[in-house]
Amino acid sequence: MNIIPLTPLDLFLASILVIALAALSWALRLGVGRQLMIAALRTTVQLLLVGLVLKSLFANAHLAWLGLASLVMLLMAGREVMVRQKRRFRGWWGFGLGTLSMFVSSFSVTILALTVVINNQPWYLPQYAIPLLGMLLGNTMNGISLGLDQLTRNAWEQRDVIEQRLLLGGSWSEVIADIRREAMRVGLVPIINAMAAAGIVSLPGMMTGQILAGTPPVVAVNYQILIMFLIAAGTGFGTLVSVSLGARRLFDKRHRLCLERLS
């Protein structure tokens, strides 16, 4: 395969575009210039560190090290789900809902793909397990974050309507059913859009990376189809679980709305 390596100078030239965008945002007073620069710096540092970790994992493929790396990825994704919400659950619930949902969905889907679909030996080879889990966690994180944010924000804004429905004798599940359905729909929209536009509007990242690395296009396409299906399943199941648990958390055992559980 003819792989063209990138030098630090090449990456610096690409970073000029981000710096220019940050300068423009400062000039227009958009309020995101500092965040953009911090995000760019985090991306650089995190990916460089991940590269070193993956190099070590690939050289020493062991289930214990893979489990540790996966746990760190899961906990970081759980934190990102929590901090992106305008109205989030207080205490460990804000962190736990997203983390638990991603563990149930992303981990189970990844293990299924490794053991049944790809079926490599051993099944936990890091060069397959880490990229698959990373893509699933990243996309599931987005869906869960959007779903929970929609749920809590709508519940807060429509609290009077919910309480009136409760006074009329409705159960917690009935009075929040439409808000819950809308939150689930919002969480699924990004992956639906991604699948609908794949190959026509955009070339997905994994497929593009494989092609740039010299993989035959048909092989890259097959892997990308697999990834899209896995992401759709992980995002869908994770969003459904998190929104369902979150909706129940908004009410106590006596079916009273408890918005004090939100920050």
Q: What is the pLDDT of residues 213-234, one digit of tens each?
A: 777 888 888 888 888 898 899 9
CA distance 247 to 177: 9
Output the pLDDT for position 1: 53
**pLDDT higher than 70, residue 255:** yes
Write the DSSP symbol of residue 121: S
Residue with tokens 């070193």: 52
Confidence of residue 244 (pLDDT cuts 50, 70, 90): very high
CA distance 195 to 74: 24
Domain residue ranges in the chain? 1-59, 61-261
**pLDDT higher than 90, residue 243:** yes
Residue 49 CB burial class (10 angstroms; 0-12, 13-18, ≥19)? exposed
CA distances for 26 relative to 30, 33, 125, angstroms: 6, 6, 45
CA distance 22 to 31: 10
Q: What is the pLDDT of residues 174-197, one digit of tens each?
A: 999 999 999 999 999 988 888 888
Residue with tokens 């790809």: 118
Dihedral sign of CA atoms 195, 201, 205, 211 in order: positive
Output the pLDDT for position 193: 87
Mean pLDDT, the chain, as a whole number? 86
Q: What is the pLDDT of residues 89-132, one digit of tens each?
A: 888 887 888 888 888 888 889 988 888 888 888 888 888 888 88
Confidence of residue 84 (pLDDT cuts 50, 70, 90): confident
Q: What is the pLDDT of residues 37-74, one digit of tens each?
A: 999 999 999 888 888 888 888 887 788 888 888 898 88
Residue 42 CB burial class (10 angstroms; 0-12, 13-18, ≥19)? exposed
My answer on whether omega of the bond before 122 falls inside 30° of 0, hence cis, is yes
Output the pTM of the full model. Answer: 0.80
